[in-house]
Structure 1
């Protein structure tokens, strides 16, 4: 596992798109959205979604392209020739990217807090649910990313398909567009409930406003409780991780 970590870290250092979209782009989006929305609580509205942006960027897009790039070299062939079992190989990739996503998430949170500290209602945040939402989203998106990387025939297809998944995931889950905007369109609400990433985002948005007034809390998230998005997220994660392991075993043959 440590060898895989060193391999992935070495690739990350050479990957400009991962660094930019995982650590720089969310800060750019934060300043733009706060300026566009205006008001005294603009940062408090958009920051939780942007904290979650590390998951689809680093999990879906970066991981899919990383794995696909590995397939073009002899790295995957050498790994396939080792006695490393499929679940161990997939687990090491997922754990590395979960750690990376946590770093990216708290980077965005830290910069947001430094820039807009006075706009954030710190007393309303339930940090337990915030951490849980990041954990669920990081595992979910990383499982999607590794599956795309395994199944895509080449780097270009992996890039195109991961971006195709990333764009609706980001905008229609409540990540970039606050839930207040999505809730005004019933069709968008239905689509959001189909997207797996919407469930951890709902946990984040609700956890971010956990101790707010009842009216503010009701308008902050896709679901008006925690147990539904938590349960659905766990089911999705189980299915996606199992699918990634099966895809690796199939491609390995």
Structure 2
């Protein structure tokens, strides 16, 4: 895990988002204390500390970090409960309503699956059974950091690629991390075994696995940098220094 510089995890997350997302400080806006209290009463238990921080900073507006069809606002969450679109559940708490017309898939916390002051984020299609969930991220913190790096660092890189790391032992990222560290990359926030975030001045990588599916011996990655040669060299270093198989499935722009 990266050093947290004696700061709380929310402070480290805030530093990352304000650094990476242009204009966020001017545009984000928090929910009211009353709205946060109402969501907590709906949950029927104390909210994860990170979610309270998120609502206090972005519970009204996420600014440039907002998702296209997912509304994380406290007002929209409470409206959905008031309208009985979703009913209070002993385990699941709506945190983002999906507005798309075709197969809307809203996001829920699983409050029985908490870790690192946060909780598992799962998607559920409208009308699906409560247990018919698609696990997205082990924590909301990781989801937001992963998205911020994807939108505001990787997608601005001249060259990008995507693929998978796979191997014969569990915890794939424990093999990736020391190689990335030796190459000058840092991890902007602490993450669990299903999410990897790595940055240096000329490149950034995000990795993702499926929570609740065990250590499935594979992690997808997206990697961006100054040119294909830099990315290929780093991926080659990972393959050479570990027992992992590295497969690149796409290059953007496509290589000649």
Normalising by structure 1, we get a TM-score of 0.25
Structure with more relative contact order (C-alpha pairs < 8 Å, separation 6 or more): 1
The structure with the greater share of residues assigned to strand is: 2
